[in-house]
Amino acid sequence: MFISVFALLSLAYLIPSIFIECDDKIFASLAIILNALNTLFHKCGAVAMAAYMRINSCLSSAYTATNPVTNSSPDIATRYRKA
């Protein structure tokens, strides 16, 4: 939840900054910092989700059927690969 809220708030700053021409280096450096933090948070979120799912194999039907993240889908193998 934190990652999505942070990404939306940073986009609220980054999208208007495309259209505003400013020579101030603070605004440019803030955009770079926000992009770097977004990248870092998304990578950490992906690793945390993989660790939570305890990924073994996408082909093991016994494993994917008992996984709490993917077991609500009718097509478990596709859902598992997308998650």
Q: What is the pLDDT of residues 57-78, one digit of tens each?
A: 666 666 666 766 666 666 666 6
Q: How many domains does the chain have?
A: 1
Q: What's the whole-model pTM score? A: 0.63
Separation CA 83–CA 9 (nearest Å): 24
Decide if 70 contacts 83 (C-beta within 8 A): yes
Q: What is the pLDDT of residues 4-53, one digit of tens each?
A: 999 999 999 888 888 887 777 888 888 899 999 999 999 999 888 878 87
Separation CA 42–CA 8 (nearest Å): 13
DSSP string, 18-34: HHS----HHHHHHHHHH
Q: Which domain does 7 fall in, by range?
A: 2-82
The tokens for 31 are 């955009």
- Give the pLDDT confidence score for residue 14 in this predicted structure: 87
pLDDT over 70 at 81, yes or no? no
